[in-house]
Structure 1
Amino acid sequence: MKAERMMKILILLQYGKTISTPTLAKELEVSERTIHRDMESLHAAGIPVFSERGKSGGWRLVDDWKQKLSWLKDHEVLTLFLPHAEKLLSDLNMDASIADLGDKLALSLPEPSRERALNLWERVYIDMGTWRDKKIDLTSVMGVLQEAVMNNKQVSIHYEKANGTSKEISIKPLGLVAKGSTWYIAAQNENDDFRNYKVERIVKAVLLDEHFDRPSDFKLADYWEGSKQDFVQNLPEFNVKVNASPSARERIMFTGRFVQTSEFDKLKQKGWTEMELIFPTEEEAVNFLLGFGDQLKVKSPTYLIDEITERARKVIRFYQ
């Protein structure tokens, strides 16, 4: 426990900042006296840690002192060798050679950690793309957004919404997020409200001269997780209960689309199954169910049966 605590102290100090004893005690959930004892132990072990007195004083390391990679635990070292998503690196204009990166990291490791890390590199591959990737050139837009995020500069963007309308707005970019292979920019709009913008819908981005103050309590990962939960909770829902034939059930389960509850453990005659499906709208439900023909039978809501029947009649009349 003490060894892990001192390792965490070293990691915190290697950011180059002076950290007070109360801050370290709060971060590590120990007493200030324990922090002082840990610092004495680090000093005795030859770690160049020293204290600065005064109002803004605290603990810090000698400038440019860095911990060696070999001090990391084996499982922590292995995480460094998980292959990177090459598409995302390319989108960020970081076209580094993955093979060269692995070789350089491996040189920093002792045996047998080196062999285990290289085995992981050769046996795991991460592909963030879809089966049919859309060829969208994000180079110019991503370059502007990256510079804005790193330097707290405002950006004017021409943004196309999903409904086809467009607008030009000024935003304060706070971070880039890759959701699968799709990039989003988390930002504050002109009213300082937090918003997420899909990067592929940004037709043009212009870096402005104006800087902005980044919210001191903003943490990108925490914000994104909260934003994602809010988005899912606010999605419209339209539930439909159906009886599904074996073939329809297999198709639905294979894609995983719309299924809220896969089955109710009720197998009907000839293998038909009760299922509950969830759709964003009633219109999407009708289109989806109609496409299965006589392989899905609606149980509720019952009025949907008339809607599907009438739609089917229209299709027949259209082709007569």
Structure 2
Amino acid sequence: MRASRILSLLLLLQNRGRLTAAQLAEELEVSVRTVYRDIEALHEAGVPLYGEAGHAGGYTLLGGYRTRLTGLTGAEAEALSLAGLGDSAAELGIGAAMATAQLKLQAALPEELRDRAVRLRERFHLDAAQWYREADSSPFLSTVAQAVWEQRRIRVRYSRWREPTEVERTLEPYGIVLKAGRWYTVARGSSRIGTYRVKQILSLDLTEERFRRPSDFDLAQYWRQRLEEFHSQLHRDEAVVRVSARGAEQVPHCLSQAAAEAVAAGSADAEGRVTATIPMESVGALETQLLQLGAEVEVLAPVELRQRLTDTVRRTLALYECQTS
């Protein structure tokens, strides 16, 4: 561990030039005292390091010194294939390998290409989580990732929405997917391949039992098919709504993209109201979404949805009348 950290420190100085002990400590996630010890170890190894005190001081390599210890380990090479994950790599347990691999890659590049790579990293950042939602966090994510890589069965206690709400499963995890800040594992259970949200795993036992992953299984293709099935089932029914001009502006923030497109394509009457037929997953789901638009939308059909909205508004009105009387 220490040898890897010292190499990372050396590569940081080689790639970025002058850095203070505090900056090195922050990059390496260690104490400043640990950085001082590692700097001393590099001195003893004959690395030409120069340290300068003061506000503009720091450590730098002398005479254009460059290490040739830039070969990638197996773990680092694997981590590079997931370089687009950004901070999510740390959640999978490969953050350290990713950081070291990127440093080695930069050190091996010619100066011009290295500068371009640094500028790219400084100017582009991937954040996979959605607005107003916290990204998934699970103590079992790195273990699931280990099981995927080592092809080991896992026994889990899993929480789901339908009865029974807690179930026990033995799974063969084929892969992991990050979707809008949420982690899923695609795994074979007793009879079929399914998708499980990692956050909903309540307990996990990593077994020593190995399984054979099908050679023809394509994780990306499987996920595309699941998304197509999801969207085809999502909008099985329709509703007819009349939306005010103000409501039409709010629709993209409250309803689905398909609904927003339907409203945008509709023609407005003399009062600026648009009548549109929009896709509907279910009466309950669309009711919740339409309530965000308040009086800016009127449901014309189906009758069930119109009645549910009417009942909800009446109950809400009664609640407030009761509080003010």
Pairwise TM-score range, normalised by the shorter structure:
0.5 to 0.7
Q: Deviations over 1:8-55 (max 9, x none)?
A: xxxxxxxxxxxxxxxxxxxxxxxxxxxxxxxxxxxxxxxxxxxxxxxx
More helix, by proportion: 2
Matched ranges for 1:39-188 at <5 A: 84-96=84-96, 102-110=102-110, 112-134=112-134, 137-139=137-139, 141-163=140-162, 165-188=165-188
Instruction: State the alpha-carbon separation in 2 of the partners of residues 173 and 265 from structure 1.
Output: 46
Q: Give the gaps of 5 or more residues in structure 2.
A: 1-70, 73-79
Residue in 1 aligned with 2:316? 315
Residue in 2 aligned with 1:203? 202
Instruction: State the alpha-carbon separation in 1 of the partners of residues 187 and 159 from structure 2.
Output: 16
Residue in 2 aligned with 1:243? 242
Q: Shift in Å at residue 187 of structure 1?
A: 0.8
Q: Deviations over 1:158-210 (max 9, x none)?
A: 0000247110110111111111211111111012x111100000011101222
The one-letter amino acid of 1:262's match is V
Q: Give the gaps of 5 or more residues in structure 1.
A: 1-67, 70-79
Residue in 1 aligned with 2:216? 217
Contact between 1:81 and 1:118, CA under 8 Å: does it hold in 2?
A: no
**TM-score, L = length of structure 2:** 0.64
Flag the 1:89–1:252 CA change in 2: closer, same or farther, 3 A.
same
Residue in 1 aligned with 2:300? 299
Residue in 1 aligned with 2:265? 264
Structure 1 vs Structure 2: percent identity of aligned residues?
25
Q: How many residue pairs align between the two structures?
A: 241
Q: Shift in Å at residue 282 of structure 1?
A: 0.8
Structural RMSD (CA): 3.1
The one-letter amino acid of 1:223's match is Y
Residue in 2 aligned with 1:3? none
Instruction: State the alpha-carbon separation in 2 of the partners of residues 157 and 279 from structure 1.
Output: 34
**TM-score, L = length of structure 1:** 0.65
Instruction: State the alpha-carbon separation in 1 of the partners of residues 234 and 98 from structure 2.
Output: 39
Instruction: State the alpha-carbon separation in 1 of the partners of residues 81 and 186 from structure 2.
Output: 28
The one-letter amino acid of 1:301's match is P
Flag the 1:244–1:200 CA change in 2: closer, same or farther, 3 A.
same
